Amino acid sequence: MLMYRIADPGPGFKIENLPHAAVGQPSDQPIEHMRIREEKGIRPGGFGLLTVRASVDELLYNEKRNEVVFVKYL
Protein backbone atom coordinates (compact mmCIF):
# COMPACT_ATOMS: atom_id res chain seq x y z
CA MET A 1 0.00 0.00 0.00
CA LEU A 2 1.02 3.58 -0.57
CA MET A 3 -0.06 6.13 1.99
CA TYR A 4 0.40 9.89 1.85
CA ARG A 5 -0.51 12.39 4.53
CA ILE A 6 -0.89 16.07 3.74
CA ALA A 7 -1.51 18.63 6.49
CA ASP A 8 -2.27 22.33 6.05
CA PRO A 9 -2.21 24.78 8.99
CA GLY A 10 -5.15 26.66 7.45
CA PRO A 11 -8.80 26.60 8.55
CA GLY A 12 -9.79 23.63 6.36
CA PHE A 13 -12.81 23.51 4.06
CA LYS A 14 -16.28 22.10 3.56
CA ILE A 15 -17.20 20.45 0.26
CA GLU A 16 -20.52 22.33 0.21
CA ASN A 17 -18.58 25.62 0.25
CA LEU A 18 -16.72 24.79 -2.97
CA PRO A 19 -19.17 25.72 -5.75
CA HIS A 20 -16.19 26.33 -8.06
CA ALA A 21 -15.05 22.69 -7.75
CA ALA A 22 -16.40 19.70 -9.66
CA VAL A 23 -16.58 17.65 -6.46
CA GLY A 24 -19.23 19.97 -5.00
CA GLN A 25 -21.67 19.62 -7.90
CA PRO A 26 -24.77 17.40 -8.07
CA SER A 27 -24.31 14.30 -10.22
CA ASP A 28 -26.85 15.60 -12.75
CA GLN A 29 -24.78 18.82 -13.24
CA PRO A 30 -21.17 17.59 -13.36
CA ILE A 31 -19.73 20.67 -15.11
CA GLU A 32 -21.75 23.43 -13.43
CA HIS A 33 -18.58 24.52 -11.63
CA MET A 34 -17.15 25.64 -14.98
CA ARG A 35 -19.83 28.34 -15.29
CA ILE A 36 -19.18 29.48 -11.72
CA ARG A 37 -15.41 29.64 -12.31
CA GLU A 38 -15.95 31.71 -15.45
CA GLU A 39 -18.27 34.14 -13.60
CA LYS A 40 -15.67 34.58 -10.84
CA GLY A 41 -12.81 35.00 -13.31
CA ILE A 42 -11.07 31.88 -12.01
CA ARG A 43 -8.90 29.89 -14.43
CA PRO A 44 -10.35 26.63 -15.80
CA GLY A 45 -9.98 23.64 -13.52
CA GLY A 46 -11.68 22.49 -10.35
CA PHE A 47 -11.19 18.76 -10.92
CA GLY A 48 -8.48 18.14 -8.29
CA LEU A 49 -10.52 16.51 -5.53
CA LEU A 50 -12.64 14.59 -8.03
CA THR A 51 -9.50 13.25 -9.72
CA VAL A 52 -7.96 12.23 -6.40
CA ARG A 53 -11.15 10.44 -5.31
CA ALA A 54 -11.08 8.43 -8.55
CA SER A 55 -7.38 7.58 -8.18
CA VAL A 56 -7.10 6.32 -4.61
CA ASP A 57 -8.78 3.57 -2.62
CA GLU A 58 -9.29 5.60 0.55
CA LEU A 59 -9.40 9.34 1.17
CA LEU A 60 -9.61 10.22 4.86
CA TYR A 61 -9.98 13.76 6.21
CA ASN A 62 -9.75 15.06 9.75
CA GLU A 63 -12.74 16.93 11.17
CA LYS A 64 -11.57 20.39 10.04
CA ARG A 65 -10.61 19.01 6.62
CA ASN A 66 -7.19 20.61 6.74
CA GLU A 67 -5.45 17.24 6.86
CA VAL A 68 -5.91 14.29 4.51
CA VAL A 69 -4.56 10.77 4.14
CA PHE A 70 -4.58 9.12 0.70
CA VAL A 71 -4.36 5.31 0.57
CA LYS A 72 -3.73 3.25 -2.57
CA TYR A 73 -3.61 -0.53 -2.24
CA LEU A 74 -1.21 -2.27 -4.60
Which of 56, 4, 42 is CA-nearest to residue 18?
Answer: 42
Q: Among 2-11, 16-25, 37-46, 64-73, which stretch is predicted with the lowest mean pLDDT?
A: 16-25
- What pLDDT is recorded for position 6? 96
Q: Is the pTM of this model over 0.95?
A: no
Phi-psi region of 36 (alpha: psi -120 to 50; beta: other; left: phi over 0): alpha
Q: What is the pLDDT of residues 27-69, one digit of tens each?
A: 788 888 999 999 999 998 888 888 999 999 999 999 999 999 9
The answer to whether 68 and 6 have CB atoms below 8 angstroms apart is yes
Query: How many Cα atoms within 13 Å fall on the side-chain side of residue 13?
Result: 14
Per-residue pLDDT for 17 more than 90?
A: no
- What pLDDT is recorded for position 18? 87
Hey, which residues does 2 pair with through a beta bridge?
72
Hey, which residues does 5 pair with through a beta bridge?
69
